[in-house]
Amino acid sequence: MLDDHATDSNHKKMLGMTVTLCSKSREALEMSTQLSKHHAKLTAAFSQQAIEQWEDEVTAAELLWLTDVKVMDMYAMWGLGLGLASPKASTRVQSVVEEWIDFAIIFE
């Protein structure tokens, strides 16, 4: 009797799993589309040079993170001379969006 109950319960879970997975897949696709649009708008606010610099810094940190997790804190790494550029090193005036992103990275 107990085995029949457990088997029936597991069978119902398996039938319901397809509905749940399909809905989660649709949600993920929708979220991915929205994030792609936001990413495009955000990167349009920056110069190509700033984007390339950021990508270079991320790549450098990712190469070192297995040996030292602290390199993922890029603001802390600027003072250690790891070749990561500092925002203070630039004399260029930042846009409001760039200042906001720099501020957000500090709290990341």
pLDDT in tens, 45-81: 888 898 888 888 888 878 877 787 776 676 655 554 4
pLDDT tens digits, one per residue of 15-54: 889 999 999 999 999 999 999 999 899 888 888 898 888 8
For 75, the domain range is 46-108
Residues 99 and 66 in one domain: yes
Q: Contact, 87 vs 97, CB < 8 A?
A: no
Residues 25 and 61 in one domain: no
Q: Contact, 70 vs 55, CB < 8 A?
A: no
Residues 32 and 56 in one domain: no
Counting the structural domains of the chain, the total is: 2
DSSP letter at 107? T
Residues 28 and 61 in one domain: no
- Identity of residue 43: T
* Residue 83: partners with Cβ closer than 8 Å, 6 or more residues away: 60
Residues 82 and 93 in one domain: yes
Q: Give the residue carrying structure tokens 């990167």.
A: 43
